[in-house]
Amino acid sequence: MPESASEVASVERSRAKLGQGLGLGLALGGLCGVIAILSSAASSHMIDNQYLAIISQITMMHAAAFVGLGVAHGITSSKGIAFAMLLLFAGVGLFCGDLAQRLYLGVKLFDFAAPAGGMLMVLGWLSVFLSGLARMLRG
């Protein structure tokens, strides 16, 4: 139990930081989770297409990752983790958006959209790795 007003203020600041990071992670993770479930259901019941299965797999994996990264960002306030979430979300959106547009409209989002999205995901995961490594080396 905090003893002084400064300790109470410190606890409140920590809760606010955790809430912001966790809120971002939950929002991104929740959106990816919804897309994963809907694309999986569509793949199973309506359209038998490999694009939907890929979209479902990519978004489901990243849904869990966003929640975990949100917790990590809330605890550490790491700019590297925040940047990683941005890269990952942009990459997932671009990659899966290109596959969805190919499926439903029959045309690419734009040339090299899926590879660009994939590269953003790679860079996002590299940012997670480097953020973790930096934190580990700092002790």
Tokens 């671009």, residue? 94
Q: What is the identity of the amino acid at 23?
A: G
Q: Which uninterrupted H or E stretch holds 97?
A: helix 79-105
Mean pLDDT of the chain: 88
Please give the pLDDT value at position 10.
57
Place of tokens 């038998």: 48
39, 59 contact by CB (below 8 A): yes
Digit-coded pLDDT (tens) for 57-102: 999 999 999 999 999 998 888 899 999 999 999 999 999 999 999 9
DSSP strand E in 2-116: where? Answer: none
Of 48 and 14, the one with more pLDDT: 48
7, pLDDT greater than 80: no
Structure confidence at residue 44 (pLDDT): 83
Cα 37 from chain centroid?
A: 16
- Judge contact between 59 and 41, C-beta under 8 A: no
In the chain, the percentage of residues whose pLDDT exceeds 90 is 70
> pTM for the whole thing?
0.83
